Amino acid sequence: MAVAVFSLRRRALLTAAIALGASGAGVRCAFAAPLPGSKKTPAAPPPPRPKLIALDPGHGGQDPGALGYNGTAEKGVVIAIARELKKQLEAGGHYRVFLTRGGDEYVPLRERVARAQAAKADLFLSMHADSHPDSSVRGASVYTLSEGASDREAAALAARENHADAIVGGMHLGDKPDNVASTLVAMTQRGTVNDSRRLAETIVHTFGRNGVMLLPRSHRQAGFAVLTSPDIPAALVEMGYLSNPQDEKLLTIKQHQMNLARALRASVDAHFGAPSAIRKA
C-alpha cells in the first residue's frame, strides 16, 4: 500500500515537472532534488567498448619461419607488418590491439591462443608469409580452421605452421592438432565458424580490391593449431611467398607493408561494419 501511495505522489510530481518544462521554467530544480527513494535519472549509455584485436605475427626467436629466396626470414617481415597494422588500427580510436609476441621471441602456438583468450580478444589474425618449392608461385591466401583440409597444399601448409611447436622444446606433433574436432563443435555452436569464414572472405575481397596479388582459390581451410579459440573469430593470412623473388622483395618494402596493413585494417573495419569500411582503403 505504501508503495502505491508513493507511486501516486511521484506521478503527481512528474506531471508537475512536465508542466513546468512545457512552460520553460523550473525543470532543472524539479529534478535536481529527487525525493528520498526515488529512482535516479538513467545515465547515458556508455560508449561502445573498443574491439580488441589480437595480431599474431608467426614464428620468432629460434624459429625463423619460412626463409626467402634471398634469405629474408618470415619472422621479421610479419612482425613489421603486424606493428604497422597495430598503428593503423589504433589510430582510428575504434580498436585496442595486442600482439601475441612483442619482439623476436619464441611463443608456442598454444600460448598464443591462450594469450588471446585471456585478453578476451574479439578477433584473432595470424600473420605469415609462405614458402614453396616452385619459386614462381606467388600471391596471398587466407585460411580458416577445418578438420579436413580443403586441399593438399592447405594441409601441407597447416603441417608446416603447426611444426612451429615442435621446433623448441622437443614436442612432437602430428600434422594436425588433436583438439580441432572438439574446437570446431564449440565454434559451430557459438557462431565462430561462420564469423571466421566471413572474416576470411572479407580479407580476400579487400586484398583483391587493393591490388594485392592472390593465389587461386584464395580462401582455404585446414587444421591450424593457432586458430583453435572457440570464442574468437580467427583467420590466418599468408601475405605472399618468400620463395618467390618478387613477393620477397615486396614483403620487405615499407610501402608494400603499409599497403598490406591498410587492406587488413579495412578488412577488420568491414568485419565489424565500421563506417570507414565503405571508403576505399
Binding site residues, Zn ion, CB under 5 A: 58, 65, 128
The helix/strand count (H/E) of the chain reads as 10, 6
242 and 74 Cβ atoms separated by less than 8 Å: yes
Cβ-closest residue to Zn ion?
128
Nearer to Zn ion, 109 or 214 (CB): 109
> At closest approach, how far in Å is the CB of 66 from Zn ion?
6
Q: In this complex, which beta carbon is closest to Zn ion, that of residue 31 or of residue 69?
A: 69
Give me the least distance between CB of 181 and Zn ion, in Å please: 23
68 with 242: CB under 8 angstroms?
Answer: yes
Adjacent-strand bridge partners of 130: 241
Residue number, 106 or 272, with CB nearest to Zn ion: 106
Closer Cβ to Zn ion, 107 or 281, answer by number: 107
Residue 63 beta carbon to Zn ion: minimum distance, rounded to whole angstroms: 9
Minimal distance in Å, beta carbon 105 to Zn ion? 15
Amino acid at 231: D
- Phi, psi (5° rounding) for residue 21? -60, -40
CB closer to Zn ion out of 184 and 239: 239
Secondary structure string (H, E, C) spanning 263-280: HHHHHHHHHHCCHHHHCC
Residue 184 is inside which H or E element, if any? helix 180-189
Are 158 and 269 a contacting pair, CB within 8 Å? Answer: no
Output the smallest distance, CB 203 to Zn ion, in A: 16
